[in-house]
Amino acid sequence: MTTETEGKKRTVEDLAAVFGQHFAAATFAKLPADAIRAAKFSTLDTSGVILGASGLMDVLPAVVELARESGGTAEGTVFGFGGKLPAEQAAFVNGAMGHGLDFDDHLPEGHHPSVAVLPALLAVAQRRGGVSGAEFLTALALGQDLFARLRKNVAWKQDWFMTPVVGALASAAACGKLLALDAGEIGHAIGIACTQAASTMQIAYGTGGDLRGMYGGFAAKAGVFSALLAGKGVKATSAPLEGRAGFLPVYFGEWDRAAMTAGLGEDFQGSTILYKLWPSCGVTHAYIHTALELMGGPGQTAEIERIQLVGGDFAKQLSEPAEVRRRPPTSNDAKFSLPFTVATALLKGTVGVGDFSAERRADPAVHAVAEKIEFVEDPRYDWGRELPAGAVRISLRGGAERYAEGSHDETPGAARNPLGWDQLTAKFRDCAAHAARSFDRAETDRITATVDRLDTLDDVAVLAEQLG
């Protein structure tokens, strides 16, 4: 790993310049097939969860109202609500909805690449006009790749919230690409974004509040603003990423420069992105799957005496304080609760986008199962390189016991059990059914067809308009 001390003596180009050159030189023709697939999948998936959040996030109408009060040039479509806002505001509002259901894509290591990048790119595409689908997919694939390279190769201590922190940089570079900035300007956009990269994991560890679902919007807005400033000639400081008090030494202390640049332009690490079957924190998924497997399906909760969820440091955050996690006061708390999500799954066989409403959170049947759930800490399952899996032990009436270790390899949506296009299409329709405005089957079919042929579009703005 590169250290801060080494960074002081550095004579090679700062990584911001390296990434700027890479982004400027990239073309759609050079993208590998798996990068194009991931960009298309993420476009459909992220668009769908934004639509779902538009109707299910209680705070969103007020956020949209505030954004509209600011006025400005009508550029980017507000998904699910219709109408247009200046590109920065559209990126913020759409990005704020992107993680609202905790249903958006994520890396195996955790954190969410597309929510910071895609809303920003669609807003910039509408502002610029005439952006082809191939240009859009190229910028998105580049942004997803940069997010993954930054996320995977720093010394992270569960302190900074990586999605808005590295997402701001990835979004800025991707927006710079879509604005046809040159290599130096894209490097400056990355440097400018460093002044806006913020948010800590307390958003995840704490309970209550609305920011847990909205943080993607801040990174998306920062990406648009940084790229637009760079396009107007604003220059960042020298060595913004690796200088003495640069982004990497200050935020992380150690980073693996060689790994960040290995295979640059050939290995697009966004292709490792995973897509969720259930709208809750990714750590809950292995527990949901394992509990259902142990019980042979839903509806047998009367047989259960006690459920022990065994996990490490991060799973503990999803389980305590126990009373709040068993009866979560907000929808965000519910999506981030192991007792609530596991109890819901054992009753229904799944967890759906409608299961976090006030009515469902007050369901005495869910409370009864959640009360049987307790957390057992085991440091073997601490969050390391990838999201931890944990284990489930279920004690039945009569003394029988069932135990299994969870596996993210077997969980639906995992790398070895990925969701396919048809599953993502069904997920998109389900999310769109909860949008702020009604989307009929003809509209959802039209949108999925548009995404499917995205690389052939002359102007990607048609997709943004369909989502409004």
Tens of pLDDT, residues 17-41? 999 999 999 999 999 999 999 999 9
The helix-helix angle for 162-178 and 211-231 (nearest 10°) equals 30
Residues 6+ apart with CB under 8 A from 108: 272, 274, 386, 387, 408, 415
Per-residue confidence (pLDDT) for residue 1, from 0 to 100: 65
243 residue type, one letter: G
Q: Is it the case that residue 9 has pLDDT exceeding 70?
A: no
pLDDT at 220: 98
- What was the pLDDT predicted at 110? 86
The mean pLDDT value for 310-336 works out to 93
pLDDT digits (tens, 9 = 90+) for 194-233: 999 999 999 888 888 898 889 999 999 999 999 999 999 9
> Residue 151: what pLDDT?
96
Q: Give the three-class secondary structure for 206.
A: coil
Q: Say whether pLDDT at 429 is over 80.
A: yes
Domain 282-405 in this protein, CATH class: alpha beta
Q: Is the pLDDT of residue 385 over 90?
A: no
In CATH, which of 1.10.4100.10, 3.40.630.30, 3.40.1280.10, 3.40.1160.10 is domain 2-276+448-466? 1.10.4100.10
Q: How confident is the model at residue 408 (pLDDT cuts 50, 70, 90)?
A: low
Rounded Cα distance, 176 and 389, in Å: 37
Mean pLDDT rounded to a whole number for the chain: 94
Q: What percent of the chain has pLDDT over 90?
A: 89
pLDDT at 332: 87
Q: Are residues 454 and 461 in contact, defined by beta-carbon separation less than 8 angstroms? A: no
pLDDT, mean of residues 105-118? 94
Domain range list for the chain: 2-276+448-466, 282-405
In angstroms, the CA 328 to CA 388 distance is: 23
At residue 8 the predicted structure's pLDDT band, cuts being 50, 70 and 90, is very low
SS (H, E, C) 8-22: HCCCCCCHHHHHHHH
Phi, psi of 160 (to 5 degrees): -80, 145
